Chain A
Amino acid sequence: MTPDTALSDRELMVSRLIEGPRDVVFEAFTEVQHLSRWWGPDGFTTTTRTFEFSEGGVWEFTMHGPDGTDYPNWIQWMEIRPPDVIVLRHGEGPDDPEQFSSTFIFEERTDGTRVTLRSEFKTKALRDRAAEEYGAIEGANQTLDSLATYLTGR
């Protein structure tokens, strides 16, 4: 998969240029001491119970929201190809029927590393729900949203 492959209606994608060399950016995904410093939105912290960064290995952790709400998280690494690709399964636990698959792609750029995340959900309905409620964070920017709606005529 490349970042440019067309998105299906079961996928969501985000992409961001990170201002650092690819090995440093990739490393930030491989250890709890790094992950706990950035994983999650503003104001969130994580408590890790299990962590083994290997194909088939698992990361079990709780995310603590700024309002005190706890979110159980369970991640299993499916594919690790340093420094290009990480594929993982993500859900609330190993038996969560709503688990989804996430692929992180790391590309070298002259001014940094482009990190692209593509997540694939089991159904379009699950994808749509994640787009609106994932992480249960309230947020809105009506100006941008209506601009986007206007531009695409949706």
Chain B
Amino acid sequence: MNSFGIWMGIAALFIIGLGFVWVIRGERYFGYLWWPYVLCVGVVCVIGALFISNDWVSGLLGAAGASLIWGGTELKEQAVRGELGWFPYNGKKIQPPFVDVIKKWKAPSL
């Protein structure tokens, strides 16, 4: 019997649940145009997890990185949800660095 995976599953559930919170809050205050930075942090977490010898830390970091990558692709849809009035709308968003370049890229949405 190996209970490691089940604990990772329960941890992933909380990490994904946390994703709901930061995508909603993050989009409200910062806007969806931060998506490339979020994706990069996620990728760095997943790559970093490869070099961590502690299995618990590596697993948690990998799941958190994947959740960041997924969340990065959710930000655009969340922006639309806010504009439709499904969530409180904040018009004064803190723009990311190089926002004019990012605006020319197509934001991912899966």
- The answer to whether A binds B is no
Interface residues, chain B, CB within 8 Å of chain A?
none
